Amino acid sequence: MNVTVDLDRQARAILRSNDRGGYTVPTAGLYPYQWNWDSAFAALGFAVFDIDRAWVELETLFSGQWANGMVPHILFHAVDEGYFPGPDVWGTHGHGPIASSGISQPPVAASFARRIYERDPVAGEARLRALFPMMKAWHGWFIKHRGESGAICVTHPWEAGRDNTPDWDQAMARIDASNVGEYQRRDTSHVDADMRPTKYDYDRYITLVNFGSSHDWNEDVILKDGPFRVADPTTTFILLRANRDLKALGDDLGLDTDEIAGWIERLEHGARSLWNPEINAFDSKDLRSNEFSNCVSNASFLNWYAGIDEPRLQPTLERVWQAAKYGIASYDPQGPHFEAFRYWRGPVWAIMNTMIGIGLAERGFSDMADKLRVQTAELIAEQGFAEYYHPQTGKPAGGGTFTWTAAVWLIWASPNAGKV
């Protein structure tokens, strides 16, 4: 069988095997629930071969939306003792229709809903009309509760999706985790501990969960007193892009999009406030200390995906890219905190390559976009559908048979994928 055709088949099989009836898990064991941005990638992957199932994935994700508009980063559809922290630790009872976490994740859903809709507008119109106000309410929640600096901040490292990136080290160091208490992690029973965040990190993750839970996830209290509040390029750039796509969808449906246009303008200014001239890159900024993290990460290069050109960034991209064989490392391989196998402190992630590549192509950098796509395709073809990879050797790491890596293959990396 042709290698590409076989990988196409494998990718579809992974999506099917991780399907739990209306939603997908990222991978069995390690991540047994529905994760927000993982699920949106899954929806786009399903759209390649099952458009109805794609819409169902998004509809299930938004079935857990809170009354204030927030869409949680985890929906606990069924109890699984193999994951920590579960719904009892989060303490979000009464906030949403489904047991969930108390934070969100980068809002890629509207951008992917646009692409699903464009595959079959006739079949998708009614479903899009139903989802549109939910997506708008979620975007509005980010603007209201995370957007005071113009850029979008996160109140927990998990909210950015880049859990242990060095971006957070300074802010995490200021968190008092002395009263975190005893707990038992489950992730390291599935994956080598050297590939996961450290206990130091987890003590602070759980401290932040306990803070939110103890204040019943009151956003006013979290804004005023929350110990972690960092403006994040991941969420800022992704929300800016998502608002552009949401506005295009609203315009196509004949809806009023003036408020969304205002959000776009606000986020364009806010995103530029994350430019750190000391490192010639977009960077995270601790809003408690007003200090940049001084970290070049793969999130630094999502500006093109968001529709923002920055010529000063191109030499930085070239330098970081040259240090990794398979795309853009999650943290600068020449930086002082680089760890090639530890989650978001060095490995390459196919989803980030994809968004960076899409952005480069759309802004006219077709040669770089093609190079990045080919490198990602070679990585998956050689090493399988892993969660993430060593940036120089390509060795797979984290979970295997991973949903969003399979989706990336189908929508972008595969020679059969076509344009996204």
The count of other CB atoms within 10 Å of the CB of residue 83 is 19
Out of 19, 163, 167, 232, the active site residue is 163
DSSP state at residue 193? G
**Token pair in block for residue 74:** 């985890």
For residues 387 and 401, give the distance between their C-alpha atoms in angstroms, rounded to a whole number: 8
> Which helix (H) or strand (E) covers residue 176, if one does?
none
By C-alpha distance, which of 393, 398, 419, 380 is closest to 11?
A: 380
Q: Is the preceding peptide bond at 85 cis, omega within 30 degrees of 0?
A: yes
Tokens found for residue 338: 């680089």
How far apart CA 408 and CA 419 sit, in angstroms, is: 12
Is 387 among the residues known to form the active site? yes
CB 48 within 8 A of CB 14: no
150: buried, middle or exposed (CB in 10 Å: 19+, 13-18, 0-12)? middle
Pairwise CA distance, residues 221 & 215, whole Å:
7
Rounded to 5 degrees, what angle do the CA atoms 139, 91, 147 make?
25
Q: In degrees to the nearest 10, what's the CA dihedral of 237, 239, 240, 246?
A: 150
Of 186, 246, 201, whose CA–CA distance to 29 is shortest? Answer: 186
Q: Is 221 exposed, middle or buried (0-12, 13-18, 19+ CB in 10 A)?
A: middle
Helix (H) or strand (E) holding 202: helix 199-214
Give the Cα separation of 110 and 221 in Å (integer): 29
Four-point Cα dihedral 71, 31, 170, 270, nearest 10 = -30
Determine the Cα–Cα distance for residues 270 and 282; give it in Å rounded to an integer.
Answer: 11
Indicate the length of the chain as a whole number: 420
- The answer to whether 345 touches 337, Cβ cutoff 8 Å, is yes
Active site residue 163: yes
Residue recorded with tokens 């109140």: 155
* DSSP-assigned beta bridge partners for residue 292: 285
Cα 177 from Cα 309, distance rounded (Å)? 40
Q: Which residues are catalytic?
A: 163, 387
